[in-house]
Amino acid sequence: MSTTNVTIRMDKELKAQADMLFSALGLNMSTAVGVFCRQAVRQGKIPFELAADIPNAETLAAIDDVNNNRNMSKAYDDMNELMRDLNA
């Protein structure tokens, strides 16, 4: 089987974390990416579920504030007052 080179770009910290995980599994990055590609081709899809990020506690609290109109708005009677607050 002939091989070819593939170049990918990723966040430096993500690469370091992936390298550590793959090493613990007895793999290197090239082998791990190959495993991923083989599974994708075999299954005809991404071999895991893709889902939106689950909001963390801070985001959930902000969503709750918006949904319950807490601490979210101030009424302005003039544009200058609004601009002062925006620039503060």
Segment 58-78, tens digit of pLDDT: 988 888 888 887 666 778 888
Instruction: Answer whether 72's CB lies under 8 Å from 66's CB.
Output: yes
Taking only the tens place, the pLDDT of each residue in 12-60 is 999 999 999 999 999 999 999 999 999 999 999 999 988 887 888 998 8
| Nearest alpha carbon to residue 30 among 1, 59, 57, 7 | 7
Q: What tokens appear for 22 in the block? A: 């793959």
Question: For residues 59 and 27, what is the distance between their CA atoms, to the nearest angstrom?
Answer: 36
Q: Rounded to the nearest 5°, which phi and psi values hold at 87?
A: -90, -5
Could you tell me the pTM of the whole model? 0.56
